[in-house]
């Protein structure tokens, strides 16, 4: 029997090249070797997104993004968290097993407080909903970025606490840190991130990509525009780039134009594929996925309800 893999996607809006090389591509390369589950975590997103129109369109967008990047919905259970109410149900049970002081140590919550912001109770409980996401499916491996490692540890702890209290029930999952290509730099040389406004859009039009690339910060002190080169390396080998950069020393505009073409070669087919996916197709895929996910989650929850004593 193949091992079970599960990961969750935040429906957080426009993806950039950093997301592609750091998360989408490694997932696409990996999921076919497992019994895989890919879930849009819309209830997690509710801790931050308070606009229904935005949330709705982000959910549809993230599904289209993954399909366009190469996920085959016939080879993975692709579903939306809110379609499987067992997730929030199990989260409650875990919340009754872990302590407040344990949850206070979670990074996402601590970071919010450190910024002087008020955290809602949903954010505080976030790790237990994520634990439920993972543990409901007897997940063996959880592919995530490094920033999510602690959350997978929390899931192990929840499994452990439950198993100790009620007997062996949950598999302790392991994180699989997606190495991707390391940190993809943005147009200013810092880590590409939507928070830094230094992104190159993944599914932008050619004009939008060109505008972002033309905006890559260059200084005239060296011969090679390092910020351009660092992004270009994602598309071509050092050998291929050596002759291009040698022949065009100091001609930053030509080098940026070459980069635009290389990005376009990768993106254009995915962008075309994405444009052909209708919202209705996304709804159908999520509906079919939810049915399969509910069959698995429902069976697991029956066992859990029996063990905790609410089934009479
Ligand atoms: P952002 O920093 O833009 O807010 P997210 O935190 O939403 O990005 O990241 C979503 C996923 O994309 C994570 O798995 C993260 O590791 C990956 N990712 C984001 N930015 C980069 C980057 N610059 N290089 C590599 N991976 C990245
Ligand atoms: N917290 C994860 C993130 O922000 C998303 C997530 C929710 C998740 N549930 C999950 C990831 C379950 C892996 C498995 O990226």
Residue range 90-134, pLDDT digits in tens: 999 999 999 999 999 999 899 888 988 889 999 999 999 999 999
For residue 304, is pLDDT > 80?
A: yes
Residue 291: name the closest of 92, 33, 80, 61 by CA.
80
Which run of H or of E encompasses 174?
A: strand 174-177
Q: What is the mean pLDDT of residues 144-172?
A: 96
CATH of range 4-182+278-308; options 3.20.20.105, 3.40.50.450, 3.40.50.620, 3.30.70.1110: 3.40.50.620
C-alpha distances (whole Å) from 194 to each of 15, 38, 201, 264 are 8, 23, 10, 21
For residue 13, is pLDDT > 90?
A: no
Residue 96 confidence (pLDDT): 98
Ligand 2 centroid to residue 275 C-alpha, Å: 27
Ligand 2 centroid to residue 7 C-alpha, Å: 6
The residues, any chain, with a CB within 8 Å of residue 55's CB and separated by 6 or more, are 11, 42, 45, 46, 49
Q: What is the mean pLDDT of residues 47-68?
A: 97
Q: What is the mean pLDDT of residues 239-244?
A: 94
Ligand 2 centroid to residue 187 C-alpha, Å: 27
Residue 44 and residue 81 in contact, taking contact as beta carbons nearer than 8 Å: yes
Atom of ligand 1 nearest to the CA of 22: 26
- Is the torsion defined by CA of 134, 70, 201, 27 positive or negative? positive
User: Which residue has better confidence, 195 or 51?
Assistant: 51
Give the residue extent of every domain in the chain. Answer: 4-182+278-308, 194-273
Residue 186 and residue 192 in contact, taking contact as beta carbons nearer than 8 Å: yes
Residue range 261-287, pLDDT digits in tens:
999 999 999 999 999 999 999 999 999
The CA-CA-CA angle for residues 15, 19, 20, to 5°, reads: 95
Q: Which CATH superfamily is domain 194-273 in?
A: Tyrosyl-Transfer RNA Synthetase (1.10.240.10)
pTM for this one? 0.93
Q: Give the ligand at the shortest distance from the Cα of 186.
A: 1
Q: What is the mean pLDDT of residues 198-204?
A: 96
**Cα 2 to Cα 22: distance, rounded to the nearest angstrom:** 25
Q: Which residues line ligand 1 (CB under 6 A)?
A: 10, 12, 18-19, 21-23, 145, 180, 183-184, 191-195
Residue 163 and residue 169 in contact, taking contact as beta carbons nearer than 8 Å: yes
Percentage of the chain exceeding pLDDT 90: 89
Q: What is the mean pLDDT of residues 134-145?
A: 96
Q: Would the CB of 155 count as within 6 Å of ligand 2? A: no
Ligand 2 centroid to residue 47 C-alpha, Å: 13
**Cα 125 to Cα 98: distance, rounded to the nearest angstrom:** 10
Angle between helices 206-214 and 252-275 (to 10 degrees): 150
Ligand 1 centroid to residue 268 C-alpha, Å: 21
Q: Give the ligand at the shortest distance from the Cα of 129.
A: 2
Q: Would the CB of 262 count as within 6 Å of ligand 2? A: no
Residue 106: name the closest of 121, 93, 125, 131 by CA.
125
Ligand 1 centroid to residue 144 C-alpha, Å: 10
Atom of ligand 2 nearest to the CA of 143: 13
**Cα 284 to Cα 286: distance, rounded to the nearest angstrom:** 6
Give, for ligand 2, the residue of 5, 10, 150, 155 to mutate: max count of ligand atoms closer than 8 Å to Cβ: 10
Residue 91 confidence (pLDDT): 98
* Minimum CA distance residue for ligand 1 atom 10: 19
For residue 220, is pLDDT > 70?
A: no
Q: What's the mean pLDDT when you consider all of the chain? A: 95
Atom of ligand 2 nearest to the CA of 139: 14
- Is the torsion defined by CA of 37, 298, 123, 125 positive or negative? negative
Ligand 2 centroid to residue 95 C-alpha, Å: 17
* Minimum CA distance residue for ligand 2 atom 5: 8
**Cα 173 to Cα 298: distance, rounded to the nearest angstrom:** 19
Residue 238 and residue 29 in contact, taking contact as beta carbons nearer than 8 Å: no
Which run of H or of E encompasses 231?
A: helix 226-232
Q: Would the CB of 6 count as within 6 Å of ligand 2? A: yes
> How is 55-117 classified by DSSP, letter by letter?
HHHHHHHHHHHHHHTT--TTSSEEEEGGG-THHHHHHHHHHTTS-HHHHTT-HHHHHHHHTTP
Percentage of the chain exceeding pLDDT 70: 99
What b-and-e string marks burial along 208-234, b requiring 16 or more CB atoms within 10 Å of the CB? Answer: ebbebbeebebeeeeebbebbbebbeb
Lowest average pLDDT, out of 130-139, 172-181, 209-218, goes to: 172-181
Q: Would the CB of 80 count as within 6 Å of ligand 2? A: no
Residue 181 confidence (pLDDT): 74
Q: Which two tokens stand for residue 58?
A: 């982000």
Q: Which two tokens stand for residue 233?
A: 């390396």
Backbone angles phi, psi at 36, to 5 degrees: -105, 145
User: Which residue has better confidence, 221 or 296?
Assistant: 296
Q: What is the mean pLDDT of residues 123-146?
A: 96
**Banded pLDDT at 219 (limits 50, 70, 90):** confident
Q: What is the DSSP letter of 194?
A: G
**Cα 277 to Cα 269: distance, rounded to the nearest angstrom:** 13
For residue 179, is pLDDT > 80?
A: no
DSSP tally for the chain: helices H, then strands E: 14, 5
Ligand 2 centroid to residue 71 C-alpha, Å: 18
């Amino acid at each position: 029997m193949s091992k079970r893999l599960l990961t969750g996607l935040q429906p957080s809006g426009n993806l950039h090249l950093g997301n592609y090389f750091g998360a989408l591509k490694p997932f696409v390369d990996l999921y076919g070797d497992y019994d895989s589950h890919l879930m849009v975590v819309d209830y997690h997103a509710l801790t931050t997104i308070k606009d229904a129109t935005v949330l709705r369109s982000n959910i549809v967008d993230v599904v289209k993004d993954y399909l366009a990047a190469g996920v085959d919905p016939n080879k993975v259970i692709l579903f939306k968290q809110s379609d499987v109410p067992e997730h929030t149900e199990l989260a409650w049970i875990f919340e009754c097993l872990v302590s407040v002081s344990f949850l206070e140590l979670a990074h996402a919550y601590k970071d919010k407080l450190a910024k002087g912001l008020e955290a809602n109770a949903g954010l505080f409980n976030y790790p237990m909903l994520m634990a439920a996401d993972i543990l409901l499916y007897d997940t063996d491996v959880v592919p995530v970025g490094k920033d999510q490692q602690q959350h997978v540890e929390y899931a192990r702890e929840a499994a452990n606490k439950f198993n100790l209290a009620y007997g062996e029930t949950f598999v302790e999952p392991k994180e699989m840190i997606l190495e991707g290509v390391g940190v993809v730099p943005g147009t200013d040389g810092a880590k590409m991130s939507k928070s830094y406004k230094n992104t190159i859009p993944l599914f932008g039009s050619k004009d939008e990509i060109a505008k972002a690339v033309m905006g890559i910060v260059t200084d005239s002190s060296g011969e090679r525009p390092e910020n351009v080169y660092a992004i270009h390396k994602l598309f071509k080998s050092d050998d291929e780039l050596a002759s291009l950069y040698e022949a065009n020393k100091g001609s930053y505009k030509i080098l940026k134009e070459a980069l635009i073409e290389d990005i376009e070669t990768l993106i254009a087919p995915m962008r075309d594929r994405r444009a052909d996916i209708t919202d209705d197709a996304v709804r159908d895929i999520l509906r079919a996925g939810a049915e399969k996910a509910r069959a698995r989650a429902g069976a697991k929850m029956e066992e859990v309800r029996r063990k905790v004593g609410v089934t009479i």
